A and B are shown apart, each in its own frame.
Chain A
C-alpha cells in the first residue's frame, strides 16, 4: 500500500499540462483508489488491527464452535474434526448454562426498572439551577468510571455476613447473608450493577430532559395539569429514547457480566445461582479446556444480543 500512496503526487498538476496518456492513467488510478489514496495508508494500521484482532478471531470463534477443539501442548497437532451442531446441543442441554441465562433474566427484571426510576428521578432533580450542581453530577459519575475490582471490594466488605449492611438492617437482613444466599446473590449483583452504572443514565436522561421543549410544560400548566400529569404526558414521552437505551444497554451489560459473579460471589456461588454466561465461557473454555463448548456459548450469546438490538431498532424505526 505504501508504494501506491507514494506514487501519487502530493499536488496533482492541472490536467492540461499532462500528456493525454497520463491524464487517463490518473483518472483510472483515481477511480480505483479514490480521490485521496493516502487515506488507505492512514487507515492501514486500524484496518490491520480490525482484521487481525477482530475479524479473524470472530471467524475463528465461529469455526471453533463447529469443531472439536481443545488446547494441547505446544507443537502437538491433533485432529480437529467437524462436529456440526454438537457443541451447540451440548450448550443448550447444559443446566449450568440455562441457570446462567435465567440469572441474566433476574438481573434484567431488577436492573432495568430500578435504573429507569432512579436515574429519571435524579436527572429531573438535577435539571434546574441547584447549588453544587457540578459536585452532584461528578459524584454520580464516580462509580461508573471506577474499576469494578475496586468497587466490588467495598461491596464485599459491606455485604459480607456481619457486614455493615446486615448490621444496619438488623433482623431484616437475610440468612444466610446476601452473597451466599441462593435467593439474594443475583439480586445483590443486580443492585451493585445498578449502582455502578446509574451515573451515565442520569446524565443521558438529563440531556434528554433539556431537549424537551419548555413550551410543552407551560402549555400543560396553563391547562391546569397536575405535576404527575405533566410528568406522564410530557416528560416520559420526551425521554423515551433514553429509556429504550437503558433497556438495551442493560441487556448488553447482563450478557457481559463477569467480574461481579467472579469476585462478588466467588464464581457464581451458591450452586450457580449467580453465575453468568461469560463466567461459564471462562470456566468451560479456559479452566476446563473446552474452548469449542465455550465458543458455541459465545456465539449464541452474541447472536441473542444482536437479535434483541436489531428487533428493537426495527420497532423504533417503524414507530418513528
Chain B
C-alpha cells in the first residue's frame, strides 16, 4: 500500500474477492483467553446498539432504565411500526430508496464496467485523462460539490424532487470503476487477443470473456455500490422538498428532527424506522460476509 490515496470514507471499503484463498494464520499462542475476552467485549460494544434498537422499537413505552435492555413481554408492541408507517408512508420512502439505489446500481453496472474494461485493456486517446480524473474524483470530498451541484441540478436544470436529479451525482460509482479496472488489469491479454482473432467484437469480448472471469469482483463492487446510495443522506436532503420523493434516510431524519415530538413514544417510532432502514444492509452483509471479510483499501486505491 505504498500509494494509498484515501477516498471518501463511505466508499473506501473494498472487500477483496480473492481473500478466501488466503490461508488462515496458524495460532502463535494456541487459544489464548485474552483474545476471546477482548473479542466478546468488542462484539458486545458493536452489536449492543443494534440489539437495543430492536428492543426499543418494540417497547410500548420507552424504558430507558437498565431493565429496559430486556424485552419485557408486558411492554411489547408493534404499534411503533404502524406509527412510523403512518408518519412517513414507509412503503413510499422505501420505494424511493430502492429507485435511488437501483438507478445507481444500474448506471455503475453498465457504464462502470465499460469504463473499467476500457481503462484496463484498451489503448485509446484520452485514457490517461479519464484515469487521472477518476483518481481526483476519489480524493475530492463530495461535500465540496454540494453547492455547485445544487445550483446546477436544482436551480438550472429544475431537477429538484426528481429521481434523475437524485441519482445523477452518484450514477457511476468511481470506486467500483476502480475495482473493475484492477480486476480486468489482472486478466492475461492473450485471452482477449484470441477472442479478437476469432472475430469477436470488443463488446462480445467484454461480456463473454472478461466479465465471467471477474464475477466475484462484480458482486463485491455491487455490494459496495448498494450501500452508498441506500445510506446517503446529505444529497437527497438537499434536493427533495416533497415528502413523497424522499428516500427513507431523509424521511426518517425529518421525523427525528421535527415530527417526533408529538408521538406517544417518539423513540419507539424512531427505532422502528431505524430498524427498517438498517435491515436490508445488515442482511446483505451477513449473507455475503465472505465478500466483506478482508477489506483491502490498497486494492481500491493503488495506482
Which residue on chain A has the smallest CB distance to residue B7? A252
Type the 1/0 row for A281-320, where 1 means its CB is closer than 8 Å to any CB of B.
Answer: 1100110000100110011011001100100000010001
In the bound assembly, the distance between CA atoms of A10 and B199 in angstroms comes to 7
Instruction: Give A92-150 interface residues, CB cut-off 8 Å to B.
Output: 118, 121-122, 124-131, 134-150
In the bound assembly, the distance between CA atoms of A206 and B45 in angstroms comes to 19
Interface centre among B46, B119, B227, B286 (most CB of A within 10 A): B46
User: Could you tell me if A43 and B137 are in contact, using CB atoms closer than 8 angstroms?
Assistant: no
A225 at the interface (CB under 8 A from B): no
> How many whole Å from A64's CB to the nearest CB in chain B?
7
Which residue on chain A has the smallest CB distance to residue B43? A139
* Known contacts A42-B118, A43-B130, A138-B286; is-contact A306 B139 (Cβ 8 Å): yes
User: Could you tell me if A145 and B227 are in contact, using CB atoms closer than 8 angstroms?
Assistant: yes
In the bound assembly, the distance between CA atoms of A11 and B195 in angstroms comes to 11
Cross-interface CB contact of B2 among A45, A126, A204, A320, cutoff 8 Å: A320
User: Could you tell me if A39 and B124 are in contact, using CB atoms closer than 8 angstroms?
Assistant: yes
Which residue on chain A has the smallest CB distance to residue B51? A154
User: Could you tell me if A155 and B126 are in contact, using CB atoms closer than 8 angstroms?
Assistant: no
Which of the candidate stretches A15-23, A161-169, A181-189 sits at the interface with the other chain? A161-169
User: Could you tell me if B296 and A207 are in contact, using CB atoms closer than 8 angstroms?
Assistant: yes
User: Could you tell me if B124 and A38 are in contact, using CB atoms closer than 8 angstroms?
Assistant: yes
A199 at the interface (CB under 8 A from B): yes
Cross-interface CB contact of B45 among A35, A47, A195, A197, cutoff 8 Å: A195
Cross-interface CB contact of B144 among A153, A162, A298, cutoff 8 Å: A298
B182 at the interface (CB under 8 A from A): no
User: Could you tell me if A47 and B130 are in contact, using CB atoms closer than 8 angstroms?
Assistant: yes
User: Could you tell me if A154 and B52 are in contact, using CB atoms closer than 8 angstroms?
Assistant: yes
User: Could you tell me if B28 and A305 are in contact, using CB atoms closer than 8 angstroms?
Assistant: no
Query: Using Cβ atoms and an 8 Å threshold, which residues of chain A touch B273?
Result: 150, 153
A28 at the interface (CB under 8 A from B): no
User: Could you tell me if A281 and B143 are in contact, using CB atoms closer than 8 angstroms?
Assistant: yes
User: Could you tell me if B144 and A125 are in contact, using CB atoms closer than 8 angstroms?
Assistant: no
Cross-interface CB contact of A164 among B47, B68, B277, cutoff 8 Å: B68
User: Could you tell me if B133 and A256 are in contact, using CB atoms closer than 8 angstroms?
Assistant: no
Cross-interface CB contact of B145 among A54, A134, A140, A200, cutoff 8 Å: A54
> How many whole Å from B12's CB to the nearest CB in chain A?
7
User: Could you tell me if B146 and A281 are in contact, using CB atoms closer than 8 angstroms?
Assistant: yes
> How many whole Å from B45's CB to the nearest CB in chain A?
7
In the bound assembly, the distance between CA atoms of A217 and B13 in angstroms comes to 29
User: Could you tell me if A158 and B112 are in contact, using CB atoms closer than 8 angstroms?
Assistant: no
In the bound assembly, the distance between CA atoms of A10 and B146 in angstroms comes to 43
Query: Using Cβ atoms and an 8 Å threshold, which residues of chain A touch B91?
Result: none
In the bound assembly, the distance between CA atoms of A199 and B110 in angstroms comes to 30
Which residue on chain A has the smallest CB distance to residue B134? A50
In the bound assembly, the distance between CA atoms of A291 and B46 in angstroms comes to 39
User: Could you tell me if A43 and B267 are in contact, using CB atoms closer than 8 angstroms?
Assistant: no
> How many whole Å from A115's CB to the nearest CB in chain B?
12
A160 at the interface (CB under 8 A from B): yes
Which residue on chain B has the smallest CB distance to residue A151? B49
In the bound assembly, the distance between CA atoms of A204 and B25 in angstroms comes to 15
> How many whole Å from A245's CB to the nearest CB in chain B?
6
Which residue on chain B has the smallest CB distance to residue A285? B147
In the bound assembly, the distance between CA atoms of A139 and B295 in angstroms comes to 14
B123 at the interface (CB under 8 A from A): yes
Instruction: Give B112-154 interface residues, CB cut-off 8 Å to A.
Output: 112, 114-115, 117-119, 121-127, 130, 133-134, 136-137, 139-152
User: Could you tell me if A49 and B125 are in contact, using CB atoms closer than 8 angstroms?
Assistant: no
Query: Using Cβ atoms and an 8 Å threshold, which residues of chain A touch B85?
Result: none
User: Could you tell me if A149 and B27 are in contact, using CB atoms closer than 8 angstroms?
Assistant: no
User: Could you tell me if B22 and A210 are in contact, using CB atoms closer than 8 angstroms?
Assistant: yes
Type the 1/0 row for A200-233, where 1 means its CB is closer than 8 Å to any CB of B.
Answer: 1001101100100010010000000000000000
B86 at the interface (CB under 8 A from A): no
Query: Using Cβ atoms and an 8 Å threshold, which residues of chain A touch B53?
Result: 150, 153-154, 157
Instruction: Name 8 A/B residue pairs within 8 A (Cβ), A-sorted.
Output: A37-B125, A42-B115, A50-B137, A57-B149, A158-B52, A249-B9, A253-B9, A285-B146
Query: Which residues of chain B have a CB within 8 Å of any CB of chain A?
Result: 1-2, 4-6, 8-9, 12-13, 22, 24-32, 34-36, 38-39, 42-43, 45-47, 49-50, 52-53, 56, 62, 64-66, 68-69, 110-112, 114-115, 117-119, 121-127, 130, 133-134, 136-137, 139-152, 155, 158, 168-169, 171-172, 177, 196-197, 199, 201-202, 206, 227, 230-231, 233-234, 238, 249, 252-253, 256-257, 267, 270-271, 273-275, 277-278, 281-282, 285-286, 289, 292-297
Q: Which 6 A-B pairs have the closest CB atoms?
A: A39-B122, A39-B124, A46-B115, A34-B124, A57-B148, A147-B231
